[in-house]
Amino acid sequence: MKKQKYINIILGFLTTFALLLNYTKIYKKGLKAITNIFIVSPIISSIILIALIFFYSYFNKKEFKINWLQKITSIFFALIMIFGKSYEELNTWDLIFKNKLTILISIIAFIGYYVLFSVIFKFLNNVISKINIENTKTENKNKIIKLFEEKPFITSILTILVFWLIYLIAFYPGILTPDASYQILQAFNIHTKYSDYIIQIDPNVNITNHHPVLHTILLGICVKIGQALLNDNLGIFIYTLVQTLILASSLAYTIKYLKKINISYKIRLILLAIYSLVPMFPFYAVTDVKDTIYTALIIIYVIKLYDFITFYKENKVTVKQIVSWVILSILISLVRNNGIYVVLISLLFTIFYTKLNAKKMAIIFLVIILLYQSYNKIILPYFKISNTSIREALSIPFQQTARYVKNYEGELTQHEKEVIDNILVYDKLARKI
């Protein structure tokens, strides 16, 4: 018992060291900076140290355990903190690897951060384990709770929409983003900058897949309906309503699913209150951008993935589930261009997760690839719609090139400068970062 107490005190010191150390001062002055090495006063440092020791004393016990995934996540978070600090201060990893002292300090900080994150996971596991499982008896609950229990989806979506109504009115016809504005122009076949980024299949067709065509068409249809009935604003508002209903439906579905897996109605009511009252959700709903519908679909997809992992390792996937999985995956892939990667990577995991459903999940995987490729390589070219430019995919290496030019221009040969200038404007490159 005493041994564990001393261990927790040491771990408290290590985490306090990791959180409060003035790394830049150590980097610049070395051992000369041995005094006043923390970024806060000794009193605040002591308070944080005592709090951490108490926190570790209660939750860093054998009965509180974490799984291997949480351990890996703790390691990852600790590395992110260390490398992030170095790049925040110096824009390099020299804060870690400059010399033996910085390496030693980084190792100590890593241990401190790892302990902090792993004990936080222990704390969260303890909290989650204490959440009461649903009591299915509803006769003692009032009428509102009974209705919430019997019709979780309907009551949730109506509640959410009632609270979001003020945002729909206040921001009528919707918060129109630059991306959505360009998409509306494309839907009406008006030339935009995105046509200049590519070699068009047909110069008379100005719609491109830079922004997902499916979403662009949806925007265009809503605006055209609004024009037919009244004006452009009504059309944008129609789209905003559609988007709001989709997001509200996905959030309401999360509450319905939690009911299905017997999570306490109190937890579900808290979640409903968060959806209804936290401004982030309605603001996202009335902001006209492809990400809103994409997010709604991803929410459903994550639930489907969780459902598969939890209930279908020993149970067979039905034909209905296969069809719904394919439809949902294709929608995710068509509403946002990088959605296909989320789908394929996660589906690869499901193939190897269970032998019972491996063949079916492999079929889903292959069908999605076939449909997605058919859409991109056959359907879009048939309608003379040009695909997206590669410039976005190259944005990260371009930024890396710009950073190298800015920081290490003296190391570049004349030939390398000419090669860079053939693609990017060399003289302006360093000023853009």
Is residue 28 over pLDDT 80? no
pLDDT of residue 139: 54
Whole-number pLDDT of residue 32: 65
Encode pLDDT of 130-171 as tens digits: 766 555 555 556 888 888 888 999 999 999 999 999 999 999
Residue among 2, 119, 124 nearest 59 (CA): 119
Please give the torsion angle defined by the CA atoms of residues 164, 167, 168 and 173, in that order, rounded to the nearest 10 degrees: -160
In whole angstroms, what is the distance from residue 203 CA to residue 200 CA? 6
Backbone angles phi, psi at 95, to 5 degrees: -65, -20
On whether the CB atoms of residues 184 and 206 are closer than 8 A, the answer is: no
- CA 357, chain centre distance (Å): 28
Q: Tally the residues of the chain.
A: 433
pLDDT at position 247, please?
97
Strand partners, 176: 288
Question: Which pLDDT score, from 0 to 100, does residue 131 have?
Answer: 66
Whole-number percent of the chain with pLDDT over 90: 52
382 sits in which H/E element? helix 380-382
Number of CB atoms found within 10 A of residue 387's CB = 16
**pLDDT tens string 368-417:** 999 999 999 999 999 999 988 777 778 888 888 888 888 888 888 888 88
What is the pLDDT confidence band of residue 214, given thresholds at 50, 70 and 90?
very high
CA angle 270, 242, 224 (to 5 degrees): 165
Q: Report residue 86 CA to chain centroid gap.
A: 24
Q: Which helix (H) or strand (E) holds 288?
A: strand 287-288
Q: 181-211 burial, b for 16+ CB within 10 Å, e for fewer?
A: ebbbbbbeeeebebbebbebbeeeebbbbbb
pLDDT tens sequence across 315-344: 888 899 999 999 999 999 999 999 999 999
Name residue 127's amino acid: V
How is residue 30 annotated by DSSP?
A: G
Q: Residue 383, exposed/middle/buried by CB under 10 A (0-12, 13-18, 19+)?
A: exposed
Mean of the per-residue pLDDT values for the chain?
88
pLDDT value of position 294: 97
- Using alpha carbons, select from 206, 255, 216, 245 the residue that is nearest to residue 336: 216
* 256 within 8 A of 152, measured Cβ to Cβ: yes
Q: Could you tell me what percent of the chain has a pLDDT over 70?
A: 94
Q: Identify the pLDDT of residue 79.
A: 95
Residue 176 has pLDDT above 60, yes or no: yes
pLDDT one-digit tens code per residue, 263-316: 888 889 999 999 999 999 999 999 999 999 999 999 999 999 999 988 887 888
The two tokens of residue 359 are 């063949």
The whole-number pLDDT of residue 35 equals 66
Q: What pLDDT score does 91 carry?
A: 81
Which pLDDT band, with edges at 50, 70 and 90, does 217 fall under?
Answer: very high
| This prediction's pTM | 0.80
Looking at the predicted structure, is the pLDDT value of residue 230 above 80? yes
How sure is the predictor about 1, in pLDDT bands with cuts at 50, 70 and 90? low
Give the pLDDT confidence of 54-103 residue by residue, as tens digits: 888 887 776 778 888 899 999 999 999 999 988 888 888 888 888 888 88
